[in-house]
Structure 1
Amino acid sequence: MVSLHMGEADARPHLSELVINWHITEVCNYRCGYCYAKWNDDSKEFLHDWERTQRLLDEVFSFFSPDNSSNPLRNQISWGRVRLNLAGGEPLLYRDKVLRILSYSKSKGIDTSIITNGSRLDVDFLDQLASHVSMLGLSIDSANKEQNIEIGRTDKSGNQLGLDSIADLFDRARQVNPGIRLKINTVINAINYNEDMQELISSLAPQRWKVFRMLPVITNDLSISSSDFQKFVEKHKSLDHVMSVEGNEDMSESYIMIDPHGRFFQNRIRHQGYQYSRSIESVGAAKAFDELRLSAETYASRYRMIPIKEAI
């Protein structure tokens, strides 16, 4: 159910795009100590069955279409387009399947984006990927090799994404797709909260840097206090023009998310674990979406809401 926090219908904020985050897999080649990507389901992940993937995407795209007047979110916000954001786990462990999902979504008029740890990005694949997405996001928690090892941001061979590699990837993405938006996601935790990342972020020049406080939805490992999180934010005030800060309350009941098994799910306020809907495949997107709470006000503010009268 969508919580009713907005004002009258004519005061609805208008979003240029409604973002749906599909976590397509739990599998990852990194082992971050704070990892959120753990779902309570032993069934086969959708991305391994193309027919089921198509049906899921068709159902979700139809429900969230700007033309669907029966979507209950329309009572609180309006939107011009839909963007499907692929996340994981590490989605690029399945590169061919990711490209197929992105291509199919674009054929349906859906904008696309992806969040990756970058470990499976090379020049040849990036040339394909960058032409499919409007936004490329990289998860970067530290510029320090030892801290990355301690966090778990290495593969089983001890490899991690180097700073030179990140810069090269961003430069290449801009060359392939001059209109691409680049984003960095950083989870502030017990290991990196004292780090100064100003030089790194400035050199990479993303359009957006999302700074999250470690959310203890699955584990308390590497959790930090509100004051330690705020100290990190204050240290990086010079990057206010790109920095988007999300504390634990901001991340609760405020995303449109689908898990690898085709269920809507939410971070729950003040409770560990996720809340799940029934399967979208079995009951449809409308019924499944109605089973969870979403703060439309917080969701809209994340995507830079503007009054609807200014968008006409």
Structure 2
Amino acid sequence: MFVSSKKLLINLCNYLRKLIIKIILLKIISRTLRININKLMKKTVPVSVNYHFTRQCNYSCGFCFHTAKTSYVLPLDVAKHGLTLLANAGMKKINFSGGEPFIKAEFMGELIKYCKIDLSWANINVSIVSNGSLIRENWMRCYGEYVDILAISCDSFDKPTNDIIGRRQGSRTDHVGKLKKVKEWCDYYKIAFKINTVINTYNLHEDFTNNITQLGPIRWKVFQCLLLEGENSGEDALRNAKPFYITDVEFDDFLKRHKGVANMVPENNTDMCNSYLILDEYMQFLNCQGGKKIASKSLLDIGVDEALGKSGFDEKTFFKRGGIYVWSKRDLLDW
């Protein structure tokens, strides 16, 4: 009887020990699952990506924050592969920029066409930011149907001011005249027209009201001049933007004077600095959190998710500044 009870007690202890181990393991598994689920819930999706596929430019704007530090451009097939990876990760809008993207006009055109045809399943909206000077009507005729929004950078409607800023290539550049011509082409080829303006020392007191109203862009994006170490500030920079820099108070004053202009979308340095997913010529995300650009490894080598983790992207600020808006020209234009 004693032996039987002892055996029963041992069996009970063994059972309880196994039960406790199982409970502990279940708790560990449950905690791990919760952590992984939370990570998935918080996973950043590259909804809107700015692809600066070239750093080369034909203008010499003094405040440029993405300067010609290299002349590298990815092979076309490699760039297409990168766009496919981004589409698989959830990208819904891509903005092609530079440098000046029309320096590689056909290269960009083929990437845009690839987004709209080969990646049509992803429903990607396409925009471009350009200084406008190298745009040709033949390009618009070939690729315009695949472009949703074309933004032209215009910092002044006064030629001497544009010359001081550096918005020119040679002395004969008619930047404003070309801006108006591109607007006509956008209307004809059904592309939504946008204007980007960087407010700085030299255009701070200019009145843009009448000119912007007459051109009627779908958005007038108004930026405060931004300093980034290694780009337009510091010893290693190719530009010195300090003479162009304005204070928050000066920027706010400009906005107050233009508050009646339709479709004005202001963006100060705080809103701008970490709220863009910037992809460079190597398809590396650029982290601007420390006031300079720190590159991730290329998403071509480590994948989109890991590269995103090094991007410094502030998703909350992206949404707060209105990073999501109507991107498709089918919803922006009258057809």
TM-score by length of 1: 0.80
Q: How does 1:229-244 map to 2 (within 5 A)?
A: 229-239=251-261, 241-244=262-265
Aligned to 1:175: 188
d(CA) in 2 for partners of 1:235, 1:128:
40
2:47 pairs with 11, 18, 31, which one? 18
Out of 154, 158, 163, the position equivalent to 2:171 is 158
**Contact (CA 8 Å) 1:84, 1:113: kept in 2 or not?**
yes
Distance in 1 (CA, whole Å) between partners of 2:56 and 2:189 is 28
Q: Is the CA contact (8 Å cut-off) linking 1:252 and 1:266 kept in structure 2?
A: no
- Equivalent residue for 1:187, pick from 198, 201, 214: 198
Q: Whose strand proportion is higher, 1 or 2?
A: 1
**How big is each residue's C-alpha offset from its partner over 1:194-241, in whole Å with a ceiling of 9 and x where there is no partner?**
1111111011100100000000013243111111111111111111x3
Q: Are 1:103 and 2:113 counterparts? A: yes
Aligned-partner Cα distance in 1 for 2:187–2:152: 14
CA distance in 1, matches of 2:301, 2:280: 15
Structure 1 position 305, deviation (Å): 5.4
| CA displacement at 1:272 relative to structure 2 | 3.1
The one-letter code matched in structure 2 to 1:101 is: L
Cα distance in 1 for partners of 2:143, 2:206 equals 31
Match of 2:215 among 204, 228, 231: 204
Q: Deviations over 1:255-299 (max 9, x none)?
A: 11101111011332xx43113211111111111101232221211
Counterpart Cα distance in 2 of 1:45 and 1:305: 28
The change in CA–CA distance for 1:305 and 1:281 in structure 2 (over 3 A counts) is closer
Which residue in the other structure is 2:20 paired with?
Answer: none
The residue that corresponds to 2:297 in the other structure is: 278
Displacement, 1:39? 7.2
More helix by share: 2
Partner Cα separation in structure 1 for residue 104 and residue 324 of structure 2: 34
Deviation (angstroms), 1:182: 1.4
2:147 aligned with 1:133:
yes
8 Å contact from structure 1 (residues 29, 90) kept in 2: yes
Q: How do 1:2-151 residues align onto structure 2 when only pairs under 5 Å count? A: 18-38=47-67, 42=70, 44-46=72-74, 49-65=75-91, 82-107=92-117, 108-109=119-120, 110-151=124-165
Contact 2:52–2:96 (CA<8 Å) still a contact in 1? yes
Structure 1, residues 55-86: CA drift from partner, whole Å, max 9, x if none?
Answer: 21111111125xxxxxxxxxxxxxxxx11110
Structure 1 runs, 4 residues or longer, greater than 6 Å off: none
Equivalent residue letter for 1:263: Q
Tell me which amino acid in the other structure corresponds to 1:224.
Answer: I
What TM-score does the superposition give when structure 2 sets the normalisation length?
0.75
SS of match in other structure, 1:27? coil
Higher relative contact order (Cα pairs below 8 Å, separated by 6+ residues): 1
Distance 1:227 1:252 in 2: 18
SS in 2 for 1:85: strand
In the comparison of the two structures, how many residue pairs are matched?
A: 269
Secondary structure of 2:223's counterpart equals strand
- From the superposition, tell whether residues 304 and 26 of structure 1 become closer, same or farther in structure 2 (CA, over 3 Å): closer
Deviation of 1:129 after TM superposition, in Å, equals: 3.6
Query: Following TM superposition, by how much is the alpha carbon of 1:43 offset from its aligned partner in structure 2, in angstroms?
Result: 7.8
Larger Rg: 2
Q: Deviations over 1:148-174 (max 9, x none)?
A: 11001111x224344343223212211
Of all paired residues, the percent bearing the same amino acid is: 28
5+ long unaligned stretches in structure 1: 1-7, 66-81, 307-312
Deviation for aligned residue 1:19:
2.0
**CA spacing shift, 1:216–1:226, aligned 2, 3 Å:** same
Paired residue type of 1:286: D
Deviation track 1:109-128 (CA, whole Å, cap 9, x = no partner) reads 22211111000123222223
**Backbone CA RMSD of aligned residues:** 2.4
Distance change in 2, residues 1:284/1:304 (3 Å): closer
Q: 1:177-196: per-residue Cα shift (whole Å, max 9, x none)?
A: 1xx32110000111111111
